[in-house]
Amino acid sequence: MFTGLIEEIGAVQKISRKGHTLVLTIGASRILDGVRIGDSIAVNGVCLTVVTYGGGSFDADVMPETFRHTTLHRLKPGDRVNLERAMSAQGRFGGHIVQGHVDTPGTIRERYAEENAVKFRIEPERRELFRYILPRGSICIDGISLTVVDADETTFSVSIIPHTLAQTVLQDKRPGDAVNLECDIIGKYVERLLFFSREGRLDGDNPAFPAEGGAAKQGMTAAFLAEHGYL
């Protein structure tokens, strides 16, 4: 698990590509302190596993699923990336719950200054994710824990303070650039618990679950809320 607070900006040193797989060699310093094989490091918001390290860099494999659903396949040697180690039990929780499991890439449509802040407007590739994107809610952009300012049917915006801009690769991003997006996991689990059917199946999904406590297939209704003590 990550918190979305970037620890360091690293640089892609080498990319080995074979089909829809990659091996990334990423230069870093701070995050390599105490690193071990098998550790998790979020690279632009994507949870990757350290397979080798040394000499100021680490290697990580990118499998086809990650290749297809994130922006990592667009990286080039020399590109800068956001880096965060998995949260330790002794760490402070300064952001929000981030898994490093990207929901969809998005495209920056606007970037403009607003007094001391810089605002970005972003269009996700998967519009169905807007049910998890709400004003003042949390979202992770390239591994950065941010707060949604507003959202419409196609885009949402975030406002970046100078410190965050200076400490992350958002300083390099311009309209047309792609970013990784991860919606808040809490909303996904709440939706799953509220909407799986009494027959024991979630609409549009395969896994079966015990039927007790599930909502009817038509979704959450006034009758459902009253039955469970919310009305």
Query: Helix or strand or coil: residue 171?
Result: helix
* Mean pLDDT, residues 144-163: 96
Q: Does residue 92 lie within any of the structural domains?
A: no
What whole-number distance in Å separates Cα of residue 222 and Cα of residue 228? 10
Sign of CA dihedral 16, 165, 153, 214: positive
* Mean pLDDT, residues 93-106: 92
pLDDT of residue 149: 97
Q: Does residue 108 lie within any of the structural domains?
A: yes
pLDDT of residue 220: 63
Q: At 48, which CATH number?
A: 2.40.30.20
Q: Do 122 and 158 touch, CB atoms closer than 8 A?
A: yes
Give the end of a domain, one of 85, 116, 141.
Answer: 85
pLDDT of residue 216: 41
> Which pTM was predicted?
0.84
Q: Does residue 62 lie within any of the structural domains?
A: yes
The 8-class DSSP code of residue 196 comes to B
Q: Does residue 96 lie within any of the structural domains?
A: no
pLDDT band at 16 (very low <50, low <70, confident <90, very high): very high
Q: Do 37 and 51 touch, CB atoms closer than 8 A?
A: yes
pLDDT of residue 226: 76
> Which residues are within 8 A (CB) of 23 and not within 5 positions of it... i.e. 6 or more apart?
15, 16, 51, 59, 60, 61, 62
Query: What's the domain range around 132?
Result: 104-183
Same domain? For 71 and 12 the reply is: yes
Q: Does residue 160 lie within any of the structural domains?
A: yes
Same domain? For 122 and 179 the reply is: yes
pLDDT band at 104 (very low <50, low <70, confident <90, very high): very high
Same domain? For 211 and 151 the reply is: no
Same domain? For 68 and 17 the reply is: yes
- Residue 33 has φ and ψ, to the nearest 5°, of -65, 115
Q: Does residue 90 lie within any of the structural domains?
A: no
Same domain? For 161 and 193 the reply is: no
Number of independent structural domains in the chain: 3
Q: Does residue 53 lie within any of the structural domains?
A: yes
Q: Do 117 and 160 touch, CB atoms closer than 8 A?
A: yes
Q: Does residue 2 lie within any of the structural domains?
A: no
Tell me the pLDDT tens digit for each residue of 53-75: 999 999 999 999 999 999 999 99
Same domain? For 27 and 75 the reply is: yes
Direct distance between the N- and C-terminal alpha carbons of the chain, in angstroms, rounded to an integer: 35
